[in-house]
Amino acid sequence: LDALLRERAGEGVPVIGLCLGMQLLFDGSTEHEGAAGLGLLPGAVARLDPHGLKLPHIGWNAVTWRRPSPLTEGLGDAAAFYHVHSYVAQPDDEDDVLGTGAYGAPFVSFVQRGHVFGAQCHPEKSSTAGLRVLANFVGVCAATRAAVR
């Protein structure tokens, strides 16, 4: 499956990773030493430093957008999403960061590089904001499909 995902992403097919799926988009993780990711986004995944707060981080966080994206269209300046995690992405390229949340310290919540998207949150549990993200991704897929026909 990993080879197919890399191949399709390389062809410009939209890919989205949610929660652990976002973490798997990166090169690897410190959660299990030597565990390789898909390598679709340069960077690593490391344990969240909660600055004295309890892990795993479970709850709603406002996400602040750093740049526009078709994934976040219609969400306004900040929207709240439901998160459950103890690890966070650390992209090598800050331009890949779409939005950040905070739990003791800021963490990367949304990423995008080309047609590769990721959300640390659970959009399926994030009410209307989450449904908007999922609908926007479906729109990206439809637009991509229409462009290749």
Active site residue 19: yes
Determine whether 121 is an active site residue: no
Nearest residue to 119 via CA among 50, 51, 132, 33: 132
CA angle 70, 131, 16 (to 5 degrees): 55
**In this structure, are residues 99 and 81 in contact, taking their beta carbons and an 8 Å threshold?**
no
Taking Cα atoms as reference points, which of 137, 141, 83 lies closest to residue 109?
83
Q: Which of 11, 31, 73, 124 does the annotation list as catalytic?
A: 124
* Pairing label, strands 87-91, 41-47: antiparallel
- Given the residues 51, 94, 122, 141, the one annotated as active site: 122
Annotated catalytic residue, options 19, 57, 83, 85: 19
Active site residue 57: no
CA 89, CA 47: separation in Å to the nearest integer? 9
Distance of CA 114 to CAs 10, 12, 15, 17, 69, Å?
Answer: 10, 8, 10, 14, 10
Mind telling me the catalytic residues? 19, 122, 124
